[in-house]
Amino acid sequence: MQISLVSFTRLPSLTGLRFFAALGVFVCHAALLTARDEGGWPPPVLFLLGAVGVSLFFVLSGFVLTLSAQPTDTARSFWRRRIAKIYPNHLVVWVALISLFRWAGMPRQDNELPHPAPSWLGDLANALLINNLIPLPKFLFAGNPVTWSLTCELVFYLLFPLLIPMVVRLRQQWLLIAAIGAVAATWVIPLISLGLHGQLLPHGFMNGRLTAPQFGLVYGFPLSRLPEFILGMILARMHANGSVGRIGVIPSVTLLAVCLPLGIAVLPAPFYFSAITIIPVALTVRAVASGDAHGARSLLRTPGMVLLGNVSYAFYLVHAMILALTLYYCSGWGAVTSACVAFLVALVASWLLYTLIERPCFQRLTTVNHRPSSQPKQIAQPPVTEPSSQG
């Protein structure tokens, strides 16, 4: 994986931004579970905050991995670091969830999707993060349902050593065109899905407007989400070269706040999950990174926000389980109180998971021992703002 890119500059605000992506997913699931507990459906914007958060994770992932890539890195060492980053936390949470589902009797949240209860084989496939690659009903949403985005990330990681040389070789004058192409691909996929027929999903405001095959293609199919990851890679080249003028964080977030409800109002449902927000998401990532590069003051780079960003992957993994536990065992507390308690418990659990599992396992699994007589080989440092998924 031979590349040539500028040396990686620490961008702590991107780490802080990761937490807001995870928070969007939490708000989505909290609104969904509490509304369903009361027999209703959450407002469309709250529900789609989860989709925005996942899209932000994918763009961030491509951006950070590209900007932090080293010429001396190899595909094997890259894949080793990615596996060390993802699997330890995932397996710990998987064991906890399967124990709750299979032996403690806690019901699974079916999200009203038309699929049967997951099988044992489905749960075991989820331990390997391959269940969403198996197009069988009892494999979908098995194990920890939010890990579908990790399957997407694994596909991105597998392709990254092939993609990075192509992105690095792009001439500066072609970067904007390449970015527009990635955005266009994000729009083409839901456009293609309009021809897919099947069982209609009974999802509240999307009732009668979205079929199960459409949802599967535009939301969970890894190659359908690949343009978002590639867009992040191209944005990293733009950032490194300073080739595109910067739009500020506030205008970018304002555009996001406008595009989400406007897109819901005027476009078909398959466009809701990434297409309508991909441009403001990309502009936000670019603006936040540029702010760090220029030394701008930012709440996102404060120690507290950086800590929250560091634990965001663990938070993403545990939040749905803790929400379900709180609503199941503490249903008498009320929806809002239960969601607030679940948020605080998830924060504590994610910090413990990050401190006791994620960080030490990553250090142990990525440490390379050399023979005294051998020449040490430089190993690329892990990204400072490594994001994960989800939604």
**Among 23-37, 107-121, 164-178, 219-233, the least confident range:** 107-121
Read off the pLDDT of each residue in 350-357 and give the average, rounded to a whole number. 97
326 touches 338 (CB < 8 A) = yes
pLDDT at 244: 54
Residue 368 has which token pair?
Answer: 């390379």
Beta bridge partners of 211: 200
pLDDT at 207: 63
| CA separation for the pair 68, 6 (Å, rounded) | 9
64 touches 386 (CB < 8 A) = yes
Beta bridge partners of 200: 211
If one compares 329 and 83, the residue with the highest pLDDT of the two is 83
Burial 368-385 (b: 16+ CB within 10 A, else e): eeeeeeeeeeebbebbbb
N-to-C CA span, the chain: 31
Read off the pLDDT of each residue in 5-14 and give the average, rounded to a whole number. 69
pLDDT at 59: 98
> In whole angstroms, what separates CA 155 from the centre of its chain?
13
> In whole angstroms, what separates CA 336 from the centre of its chain?
25
| CA separation for the pair 9, 24 (Å, rounded) | 27
| CA separation for the pair 351, 390 (Å, rounded) | 18
| CA separation for the pair 54, 64 (Å, rounded) | 15
pLDDT of 253 > 80? The answer is yes
One-letter amino acid at 226 equals: L
Kindly give, in sequence order, each residue whose CB lies less than 8 Å from that of residue 316, ignoring residues fewer than 6 positions away: 22, 25, 146, 388, 389, 390
**Among 221-235, 238-252, 257-271, the least confident range:** 238-252
Torsion of CA 134, 136, 137, 140, to 10 degrees: 0
Q: Can you tell me whether residue 63 is helix, strand or coil?
A: helix
Kindly give, in sequence order, each residue whose CB lies less than 8 Å from that of residue 181, ignoring residues fewer than 6 positions away: none
| CA separation for the pair 278, 85 (Å, rounded) | 26
pLDDT of 384 > 80? The answer is no
One-letter amino acid at 354 equals: Y
3-state percent breakdown (helix, strand, coil) of the chain, nearest 5 = 70, 0, 30
pLDDT at 153: 97
Residue 24 has which token pair?
Answer: 């969007």
| CA separation for the pair 155, 149 (Å, rounded) | 10
Read off the pLDDT of each residue in 25-32 and give the average, rounded to a whole number. 92
pLDDT at 380: 37
| CA separation for the pair 188, 218 (Å, rounded) | 10
Could you report the per-residue pLDDT of 203-220, keeping only the tens digit for each? 666 766 888 889 889 998
Could you report the per-residue pLDDT of 127-185, keeping only the tens digit for each? 999 988 887 777 877 889 999 999 999 999 999 999 999 999 999 889 999 999 999 99
Question: Average pLDDT of the chain?
Answer: 86
